[in-house]
Chains A and B, each alone.
Chain A
Amino acid sequence: MAKLILNRLSKTFDTGGRAAVNDVSLTVREGGFLALLGPSGCGKTTVLRMIAGFEQPSDGSILLGERVLADAGEMVAPEHRNMAMVFQSYALWPHMSVAENVGYPLKVRGISGEKRGRKVRQALAAVHLETYADRRPADLSGGQRQRVALARCLVTEPDVVLLDEPLANLDRHLRQEMEETFREFHARSGATMIYVTHDQSEAMALATDVAVMSEGRLLQVATPEEVYARPEGRLVGGLVGQGAILSLPSPFGDRRLFDWPAMQEILAGPAQEPRADILVRPQDVEIAAEGQVATVLSVLFEGERYALRLALPDGQALRAFSRQPVKAGDRLSIVIRAAWRL
Chain B
Amino acid sequence: MTRPQKQGNSQPRWLFPFVVTVIFCLSVLPLGRLAATGIMSAVRGGASELLSDPGLWRSVYDTLSTSFFGMIAAVVLGGGFALLLTLFDIRGKAFLGFLFMLPTMIPPQVTALAWIGMTGPSSALLKALGLAPPLGSPQPLYSIGGIALLYGVQNAALVYLSLRAGLLALPRDAVEAARLSGASSFQVLKDVILPLSLPGLAAGAAIAFVSCVGNFGIPAILGIPAGIYTLPTLIYSKFAAFGPRTFADISVLSGLIAILSVIGLMVEARVLRGRDYRVIGLSGQVAVFRLGAWRWLAELLLWLTIFLILAMPLIALVASSLAPAYGVPLSPATVTIKAYEEILLRQAATRIAFTNSLSLSLATAFGLLVVTVLTGYFLVRSKSRFVGVISALAEIPYALPGIVLAVAFILLFAAPIPVIGISIYGTIWIILIAYFSSFFAVSLKPVVSAFRQLDPSLEEAARLSGAGFARRLVDILVPLVAPAAGASVILVFLIACNELTVSALLWSAGTQTLGVLIYNLDDSGSFNIAAALSVLVVIMVIAMMVVLELMAKRLPKGVVPWRS
A residues apposed to B, CB below 8 Å: 14, 52-56, 67, 70, 73-85, 87-95, 104-105, 107-109, 137-138, 149, 152, 156
Whether the pair A90, B3 counts as a contact (CB closer than 8 A) is no
> In the bound complex, how far is the Cα of B461 from the Cα of A278, in angstroms?
45
User: With A94-B282, A108-B467, A109-B466 as given contacts, are A74 and B4 in contact (CB-CB < 8 Å)?
Assistant: yes
Which single residue of chain B is at the shortest CB-CB distance from A94?
B282
> In the bound complex, how far is the Cα of B480 from the Cα of A242, in angstroms?
46
User: With A56-B8, A91-B457, A93-B476 as given contacts, are A81 and B464 in contact (CB-CB < 8 Å)?
Assistant: yes
> In the bound complex, how far is the Cα of B5 from the Cα of A55, in angstroms?
12
| A74 CB contact (under 8 Å) in B6, B476, B479 | B6
> In the bound complex, how far is the Cα of B463 from the Cα of A84, in angstroms?
9
B269 to chain A minimum Cβ distance, whole angstroms, is 19
Whether the pair B1, A108 counts as a contact (CB closer than 8 A) is no
Residues on A with C-beta less than 8 A from B4 are: 74-76
User: With A78-B460, A80-B2 as given contacts, are A108 and B466 in contact (CB-CB < 8 Å)?
Assistant: yes
User: With A54-B460, A55-B8, A76-B2 as given contacts, are A91 and B281 in contact (CB-CB < 8 Å)?
Assistant: yes
Whether the pair A108, B471 counts as a contact (CB closer than 8 A) is yes
> In the bound complex, how far is the Cα of B7 from the Cα of A78, in angstroms?
11
Residues on A with C-beta less than 8 A from B479 are: 93, 95
Q: List 28 A-B contacts (CB under 8 A).
A: A52-B464, A54-B8, A54-B10, A56-B7, A56-B8, A73-B6, A75-B5, A75-B8, A76-B5, A78-B460, A78-B463, A79-B465, A79-B466, A79-B467, A84-B465, A85-B460, A89-B455, A91-B281, A91-B455, A91-B461, A92-B461, A93-B458, A93-B462, A105-B466, A108-B465, A108-B467, A108-B475, A152-B461
Contact with A along B1-39 (1 / 0, CB 8 A): 111111110100000000000000000000000000000
List the 4 shortest-distance A-B pairs measured between CB atoms, nearest first. Answer: A56-B8, A105-B465, A91-B457, A89-B281
Residues on A with C-beta less than 8 A from B475 are: 104, 107-108
- Given A74-B6, A83-B464, A105-B464, 10 more A-B residue pairs with CB atoms under 8 Å apart are A53-B463, A54-B10, A55-B8, A56-B8, A76-B4, A77-B463, A79-B463, A79-B468, A81-B464, A152-B465
Cβ < 8 Å to A, chain B residues 442-498? 455, 457-458, 460-468, 471, 475-476, 479-480
Residues on B with C-beta less than 8 A from A90 are: 281
B474 to chain A minimum Cβ distance, whole angstroms, is 11
| A76 CB contact (under 8 Å) in B3, B281, B464, B476 | B3
A98 to chain B minimum Cβ distance, whole angstroms, is 13
Whether the pair B457, A89 counts as a contact (CB closer than 8 A) is yes
Whether the pair A91, B458 counts as a contact (CB closer than 8 A) is yes
Which single residue of chain B is at the shortest CB-CB distance from A89?
B281
Which single residue of chain A is at the shortest CB-CB distance from B5?
A77
A131 to chain B minimum Cβ distance, whole angstroms, is 21
> In the bound complex, how far is the Cα of B476 from the Cα of A78, in angstroms?
16
Which single residue of chain B is at the shortest CB-CB distance from A104?
B465
Whether the pair A95, B464 counts as a contact (CB closer than 8 A) is no
Whether the pair B282, A84 counts as a contact (CB closer than 8 A) is no
Residues on A with C-beta less than 8 A from B455 are: 89, 91
> In the bound complex, how far is the Cα of B10 from the Cα of A37, in angstroms?
28
The residue in B3, B8, B280 that gathers the most chain A C-beta atoms within 10 A of its C-beta is: B8
Whether the pair A89, B280 counts as a contact (CB closer than 8 A) is yes
Residues on B with C-beta less than 8 A from A14 are: 383
The reply on B556 being an interface residue by CB < 8 A is yes
> In the bound complex, how far is the Cα of B5 from the Cα of A67, in angstroms?
15
B26 to chain A minimum Cβ distance, whole angstroms, is 29
Residues on A with C-beta less than 8 A from B281 are: 89-92
The residue in B2, B466, B480 that gathers the most chain A C-beta atoms within 10 A of its C-beta is: B466
Whether the pair B282, A80 counts as a contact (CB closer than 8 A) is no
The residue in B281, B463, B464 that gathers the most chain A C-beta atoms within 10 A of its C-beta is: B464
B residues apposed to A, CB below 8 Å: 1-8, 10, 280-282, 284, 383, 455, 457-458, 460-468, 471, 475-476, 479-480, 556
> In the bound complex, how far is the Cα of B467 from the Cα of A156, in angstroms?
13
Which single residue of chain A is at the shortest CB-CB distance from B461?
A91
Residues on B with C-beta less than 8 A from A138 are: 282, 284
B326 to chain A minimum Cβ distance, whole angstroms, is 53
B43 to chain A minimum Cβ distance, whole angstroms, is 40
> In the bound complex, how far is the Cα of B3 from the Cα of A67, in angstroms?
11
Residues on A with C-beta less than 8 A from B464 are: 52, 78-79, 81, 83-85, 105
Whether the pair B3, A85 counts as a contact (CB closer than 8 A) is no
A238 to chain B minimum Cβ distance, whole angstroms, is 31
> In the bound complex, how far is the Cα of B461 from the Cα of A152, in angstroms?
10
Whether the pair B5, A74 counts as a contact (CB closer than 8 A) is yes
> In the bound complex, how far is the Cα of B461 from the Cα of A105, in angstroms?
9
B42 to chain A minimum Cβ distance, whole angstroms, is 39
Which single residue of chain B is at the shortest CB-CB distance from A160?
B464
A317 to chain B minimum Cβ distance, whole angstroms, is 36
Whether the pair B461, A87 counts as a contact (CB closer than 8 A) is yes
Residues on B with C-beta less than 8 A from A80 are: 1-3, 466
A210 to chain B minimum Cβ distance, whole angstroms, is 24
Residues on B with C-beta less than 8 A from A105 are: 464-466
> In the bound complex, how far is the Cα of B463 from the Cα of A68, in angstroms?
19
Residues on A with C-beta less than 8 A from B6 are: 73-75
Residues on B with C-beta less than 8 A from A83 are: 464
> In the bound complex, how far is the Cα of B457 from the Cα of A149, in angstroms?
12
> In the bound complex, how far is the Cα of B7 from the Cα of A73, in angstroms?
9
> In the bound complex, how far is the Cα of B10 from the Cα of A105, in angstroms?
17
Residues on A with C-beta less than 8 A from B284 are: 138
> In the bound complex, how far is the Cα of B556 from the Cα of A156, in angstroms?
29
Residues on A with C-beta less than 8 A from B8 are: 53-56, 70, 75
Which single residue of chain B is at the shortest CB-CB distance from A161?
B464
Whether the pair B480, A87 counts as a contact (CB closer than 8 A) is no
Residues on B with C-beta less than 8 A from A108 are: 465-467, 471, 475
User: With A79-B464, A108-B471 as given contacts, are A87 and B457 in contact (CB-CB < 8 Å)?
Assistant: yes
Residues on A with C-beta less than 8 A from B2 are: 67, 76, 80
The residue in B10, B461, B475 that gathers the most chain A C-beta atoms within 10 A of its C-beta is: B461
> In the bound complex, how far is the Cα of B4 from the Cα of A56, in angstroms?
12
B285 to chain A minimum Cβ distance, whole angstroms, is 9
> In the bound complex, how far is the Cα of B462 from the Cα of A163, in angstroms?
15
> In the bound complex, how far is the Cα of B455 from the Cα of A105, in angstroms?
19
B459 to chain A minimum Cβ distance, whole angstroms, is 9
B93 to chain A minimum Cβ distance, whole angstroms, is 21
User: With A56-B7, A108-B467 as given contacts, are A92 and B282 in contact (CB-CB < 8 Å)?
Assistant: yes
A294 to chain B minimum Cβ distance, whole angstroms, is 43
Which single residue of chain A is at the shortest CB-CB distance from B281?
A89
Which single residue of chain A is at the shortest CB-CB distance from B476?
A93
B456 to chain A minimum Cβ distance, whole angstroms, is 9
Residues on B with C-beta less than 8 A from A109 are: 466
> In the bound complex, how far is the Cα of B481 from the Cα of A94, in angstroms?
12
The residue in A82, A91, A92, A94 that gathers the most chain B C-beta atoms within 10 A of its C-beta is: A91
B508 to chain A minimum Cβ distance, whole angstroms, is 46
Which single residue of chain A is at the shortest CB-CB distance from B482?
A95
Whether the pair A77, B460 counts as a contact (CB closer than 8 A) is no
A17 to chain B minimum Cβ distance, whole angstroms, is 16
| A93 CB contact (under 8 Å) in B7, B383, B471, B480 | B480
The residue in B281, B284, B480 that gathers the most chain A C-beta atoms within 10 A of its C-beta is: B281
Residues on B with C-beta less than 8 A from A76 are: 2-5
> In the bound complex, how far is the Cα of B474 from the Cα of A104, in angstroms?
13
B261 to chain A minimum Cβ distance, whole angstroms, is 30
User: With A79-B467, A87-B460, A89-B455 as given contacts, are A94 and B5 in contact (CB-CB < 8 Å)?
Assistant: no
Whether the pair A137, B460 counts as a contact (CB closer than 8 A) is no
Residues on A with C-beta less than 8 A from B465 are: 79, 84, 104-105, 108, 152, 156
Residues on B with C-beta less than 8 A from A88 are: 457
Whether the pair B461, A85 counts as a contact (CB closer than 8 A) is yes
> In the bound complex, how far is the Cα of B4 from the Cα of A70, in angstroms?
8
